[in-house]
């Protein structure tokens, strides 16, 4: 057995089903993780990623039962013959949302929790706590309580507390899904640091960004089957198109590469970093120095009438002496799509709650639909403005999808049977929920829950609809669908306010964008203008999209970039057209 000297984990023709009679969840998986390598496992929601992760630490089959065929070898030893506690030392697992899984209260206690279970000596534990606090860069928060940490610090603590058990393999489950770009970058740096220390890493994700260029191997999982594996450059060149259709976010650089291939250009290597993409574009002669990339400017005409909502100098505190909003002025006009962006804790949600009346505006002035906010009651205000919550389950009140919509209709004063049925059908059809109309809301798929959440909020024809984090816990397809629904609603004259830190969505959909940071508004205007001022994004801890970063680099090279380019698709169109013209 020389294998164990080279590989940390080997999967030999592994298939798995939860129950004998059910279909297999994982089919004929065959792959290995080289010692000290950095691997990325990517797949859309429901592809079997978490089931696969459970195979590493022996939870499956030891605790979960089910039928396992083939063999999983960790450090040369089959998981079926290993004890779970031994596997726990070998394979560390950082959960997607470590915060809700912390077993203790303080940062130091949490790091020590694992080693304590493994009966490490006290002095050894104390030493490793010191080392890990230092390594993950959370030393200054050592005495903090876990719930006072920011999203990025929570991920670092999750990682530290797993590292404390001295594992050989670390699995990270979507560590950056809810982090702002600055924190994301820090987590990425930490991952590279671990790799340099010889730890085998498996990063599980449903979206790929340019960090993928650092990986040694990518594994693509779809419906329980491994449809691709290999180094990122070869794999994306070979299977990029297929991965794209799965509904996985790809970095814009790769989207450009794929677009070029679709247009008939042959690439030797898939560009992943900005530099590589520019090199590809130059070497193919698609962009030449001194040339221009011209796009039509996005024309946004604010409707001339009075704004629906007008806030001036709003300050707001939750009563702990700290101000969540420190003087925000914001107008919302009829029929526009406004994006409010900023990192977690910038004041976005506080503002949303003010608009729907859950927070009361005490300092500054806030007019909602021609009436001061103080004179509105929440249920009455709900007829004019609605909020689609991040977790749609919180809004459900009844036992079936139909009842759920009826409830909303009735609370808007529609009791006539025929009218009720008519309105209900209209909403079910619009959001494609007719098939599941008799199901229990809690039993729906994540996507359908989200749709139902939107459906109930559309009742009563609100004038403004707020969507909280449309990308939260969604893969690309779901986000796209949700945004298309939003656009359709906007066309009916409803103003949409989306709260997000995803600049790609802003670039693609928003008419206007407001940047929040630390309770203040730093920018309010058309997205194209925002991307001209990278400093503002930096102070708000946000990051330009890869496409915009690249356009910035092109400008530095003397290429004239004009107008609004909302995504890679329109970028490709422009440069290909330029070629044709020439």
Partner 1 sequence: MAMIVYHSGNSLLHRLDPRVKMILLILYTMVVFGVKSFSILGILFALVLLLWKSAGLPLSRLKKYLAYLTGMIVFLIIIQSFFLPGNINLVKPIFPEGFPILPGRGFVSLKGIVMGVLLGFRLFVLIMLMPTFIMTTTVNEMAVGMVRMGLPYKIAYLATTSINMIPSLQDEATTIMEAQKMRGFSVFEEGRFREKMKAFPALVVPLVIGAMRRAQAMGVAMDARAFGAGKSRTYRLTLKMTGSDWAVFFLMVLLAALLMGGAFILDREVSLWNRL
Sites of contact with partner 1 (CB under 8 A): 57, 59, 63, 83-85, 88-89, 92-93, 95, 97-98, 100-106, 108-109, 112-122, 125-126, 129, 145, 147, 161-162, 165, 353, 356, 358, 378-379, 382, 386-387, 389, 391, 393-398, 407-408, 411-412, 442, 456-457
Give me the sign of the Cα torsion angle 58, 62, 65, 67: positive
Question: Can you read off the two tokens belonging to residue 559?
Answer: 């290429």
Q: How far is CA 393 from CA 399, 412, 449, in A?
A: 12, 21, 7
Nearer of residues 367 and 403 to partner 1, judged by Cβ: 403
Nearer of residues 81 and 121 to partner 1, judged by Cβ: 121
Contacts of 243 (CB under 8 A, 6+ apart): 42, 220, 228, 236, 250
Contact by Cβ (8 Å): 42, 208: yes
Distance, in Å, from the CA atom of 63 to the CA atom of 261, rounded to the nearest integer, reads 47
Which pairs from 432-435 meet CB under 8 Å and 24+ separation?
433/401
Spell out a b/e string for 15-49, using b for 16 or more CB atoms within 10 Å of the CB, else e.
Answer: ebbeeeeeebbbbebebbbebbbbbbbbbbbebbb
Question: Can you read off the two tokens belonging to residue 46?
Answer: 């429901």
| Pairing mode of beta strands 38-42, 217-222 | parallel
State the first-to-last Cα distance of the chain, in angstroms, to the nearest integer: 62
**Least separation in angstroms between CB 581 and partner 1:** 52
Nearer of residues 196 and 391 to partner 1, judged by Cβ: 391
Distance, in Å, from the CA atom of 383 to the CA atom of 362, rounded to the nearest integer, reads 23
Nearer of residues 83 and 435 to partner 1, judged by Cβ: 83
Distance, in Å, from the CA atom of 300 to the CA atom of 336, rounded to the nearest integer, reads 9
Distance, in Å, from the CA atom of 183 to the CA atom of 165, rounded to the nearest integer, reads 24
Contact by Cβ (8 Å): 157, 138: yes
Distance, in Å, from the CA atom of 564 to the CA atom of 478, rounded to the nearest integer, reads 25
Kindly report the backbone phi and psi dihedral angles of residue 102, in degrees, each rounded to the nearest multiple of 5, phi listed first: -65, 135
Closest Cα to residue 476, out of 42, 49, 40? Answer: 42
The residue with tokens 């279970």 is 117
Closest Cα to residue 337, out of 492, 529, 546? Answer: 492
Judged on CB neighbours under 10 Å (0-12, 13-18, 19+), 352 is buried
- Walk across the sheet containing 363-368 and list its strands: 323-332, 309-317, 363-368, 371-372
Instruction: Write a three-state SS string for 60-103.
Output: HHHCCCCEEEEEEEECCEEHHHCCHHHHHHHEEEECCCHHHHCC
Percent of the chain that is helix, strand, coil (3-state, to 5): 45, 25, 35
Distance, in Å, from the CA atom of 536 to the CA atom of 543, rounded to the nearest integer, reads 10
**Least separation in angstroms between CB 360 and partner 1:** 13
């Amino acid at each position: 057995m020389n294998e164990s000297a080279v590989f940390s984990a080997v999967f030999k023709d592994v298939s798995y089903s939860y129950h004998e009679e059910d279909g297999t969840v994982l089919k004929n998986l065959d792959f290995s993780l080289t010692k000290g390598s950095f691997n990325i496992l990517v797949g859309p929601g429901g592809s079997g990623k978490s089931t696969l992760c459970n195979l590493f630490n022996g939870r499956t089959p030891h605790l979960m039962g089910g039928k396992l065929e083939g063999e999983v070898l960790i450090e040369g030893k089959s998981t079926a013959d290993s004890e779970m506690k031994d596997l726990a030392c070998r394979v560390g697992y950082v959960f997607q949302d470590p915060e809700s899984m912390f077993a203790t209260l303080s940062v130091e206690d949490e790091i020590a929790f694992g080693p304590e279970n493994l009966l490490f000596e006290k002095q050894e534990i104390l030493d490793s706590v010191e080392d890990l606090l230092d390594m993950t860069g959370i030393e200054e928060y050592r005495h903090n309580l876990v719930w006072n940490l920011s999203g990025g610090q929570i991920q670092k603590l999750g990682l530290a507390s797993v590292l404390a058990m001295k594992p050989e393999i670390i699995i990270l489950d979507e560590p950056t899904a809810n982090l702002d770009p600055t924190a994301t970058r820090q987590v990425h740096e930490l991952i590279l640091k671990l790799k340099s220390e010889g730890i085998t890493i498996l990063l599980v994700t449903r979206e790929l960004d340019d960090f993928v260029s650092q990986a040694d191997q990518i594994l693509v999982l779809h419906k329980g089957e491994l449809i691709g594996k290999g180094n990122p450059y070869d794999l994306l060149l070979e299977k990029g198109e297929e991965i794209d259709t799965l509904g996985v976010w790809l970095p814009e650089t790769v989207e450009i590469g794929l677009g070029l291939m679709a247009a008939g250009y042959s690439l030797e290597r898939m560009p992943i970093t900005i530099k590589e993409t520019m090199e590809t574009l130059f070497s193919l002669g698609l962009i030449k120095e001194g040339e221009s990339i011209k796009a039509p400017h996005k024309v946004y005409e604010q409707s001339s009438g009075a704004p629906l909502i007008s806030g001036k100098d709003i300050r707001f505190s939750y009563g702990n002496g700290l101000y969540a909003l420190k003087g925000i002025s914001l107008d919302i006009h009829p029929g526009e799509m406004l994006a409010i962006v900023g990192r977690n804790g910038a004041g976005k949600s506080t503002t949303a709650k003010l608009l729907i009346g859950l927070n009361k505006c005490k300092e500054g002035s806030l007019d909602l639909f021609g009436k001061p906010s103080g004179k509105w009651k929440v249920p009455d205000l709900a007829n004019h403005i609605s909020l689609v919550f991040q977790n749609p389950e919180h809004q459900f009140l009844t036992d079936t999808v139909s009842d759920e919509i009826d409830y909303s209709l009735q609370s808007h004063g529609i009791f006539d049977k025929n009218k009720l049925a008519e309105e209900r059908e209209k909403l079910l059809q619009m959001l494609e929920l007719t098939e599941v109309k008799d199901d229990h809301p809690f039993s729906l798929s994540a996507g359908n829950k989200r749709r139902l959440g939107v459906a109930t909020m559309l009742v009563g024809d609100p004038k403004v609809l707020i969507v909280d984090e449309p990308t939260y816990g969604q893969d690309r397809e779901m986000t796209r669908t949700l945004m298309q629904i939003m656009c359709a609603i906007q066309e009916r004259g409803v103003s949409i306010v989306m709260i997000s830190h995803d600049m790609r969505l802003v670039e693609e959909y928003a008419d206007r964008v407001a940047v929040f940071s630390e309770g203040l508004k730093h920018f309010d205007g058309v997205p194209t203008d925002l991307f001209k001022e990278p400093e503002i994004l930096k102070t708000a801890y946000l990051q330009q999209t890869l496409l915009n970063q690249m356009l910035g680099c092109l400008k530095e090279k003397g290429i004239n970039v004009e107008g609004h380019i909302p995504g890679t698709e329109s970028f490709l169109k422009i440069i290909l057209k330029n070629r044709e013209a020439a």
